[in-house]
Amino acid sequence: MNSGNLLLLGMGGTIAGLAGDPKKPMAYQAGQIPTQALLEGLGLEPDFGEIEVHQIANIDSRHMSEELLMQLAWAVKAGLERDDISGIVITHGTDTMEETGVFLHATLGKLASHYRKAVVLTGAMLPANAEHADGPSNLRAALYMAKESRETQQYGILAVMAGKPCLARDLSKQHTHALDALVVNARELDGPIHKRQADLNLPTQMVWPWIEIVTSHGGSSGRFVDMLTSQGVEGIVIAGTGQGSVHQALAQHLVLAAEAGIAVVRSSRTGAGAVFSEIPEPDSAWNWLSARDLTPAKARIALQLALLEANSRKTEDWQSIFATI
Ligand code: ASP
pLDDT at 1: 45
Residue 160 Cα to ligand 1 midpoint, Å, equals 15
For the CA of 17, the nearest atom of ligand 1: 7
User: In the chain, where are the structural domains located?
Assistant: 5-170, 211-324
pLDDT at 41: 87
pLDDT at 282: 73
User: Could you please report the per-residue DSSP string of 27-83?
Assistant: SEESS-S-GGGGGTT----TTS--EEEEEEEEE-GGG--HHHHHHHHHHHHHHHH-T
Asked whether the domain spanning 211-324 has the same topology as the one spanning 5-170, the reply is yes
**Closest C-alpha to 193, from 128, 238, 149, 235:** 149
pLDDT at 297: 98
- Does the beta carbon of 283 lie inside 6 Å of ligand 1? no
Q: What are the pLDDT digits (tens) for 124-173?
A: 999 999 999 999 999 999 999 999 998 999 999 999 999 999 999 999 99
pLDDT at 234: 98
Q: Is the pLDDT of residue 278 over 80?
A: no
- Does the beta carbon of 93 lie inside 6 Å of ligand 1? yes
CATH number of 211-324: 3.40.50.40
Q: How confident is the model at residue 188 (pLDDT cuts 50, 70, 90)?
A: confident
For the CA of 62, the nearest atom of ligand 1: 4
- Does the beta carbon of 62 lie inside 6 Å of ligand 1? yes
Q: What are the pLDDT digits (tens) for 229-264?
A: 999 999 999 999 999 999 999 999 999 999 999 999
CATH number of 5-170: 3.40.50.1170
Residues of 52-91 as b/e, b for ≥16 C-beta within 10 angstroms? ebeebbbbbbeebeeebbbebbebbbebbebeebbbbbbb
Q: What are the pLDDT digits (tens) for 94-138?
A: 999 999 999 999 999 999 999 999 999 999 999 999 999 999 999
Q: What are the pLDDT digits (tens) for 27-62?
A: 999 999 999 999 998 999 999 999 999 999 999 999
User: Could you please report the per-residue DSSP string of 124-188?
Assistant: -SS-TTSTT-SHHHHHHHHHHHHHTHHHHT--EEEEEETTEEEEGGG----SSS-TTTTTTTPPP
Q: Average pLDDT of the chain?
A: 94
Instruction: Give this prediction's pTM.
Output: 0.95
- Does the beta carbon of 235 lie inside 6 Å of ligand 1? no
Q: What is the CA radius of gyration of the chain?
A: 20
Mean pLDDT of 189-201: 72
- 43 burial (CB, 10 Å; 0-12 / 13-18 / 19+) is exposed
- Does the beta carbon of 24 lie inside 6 Å of ligand 1? no
- Does the beta carbon of 60 lie inside 6 Å of ligand 1? yes
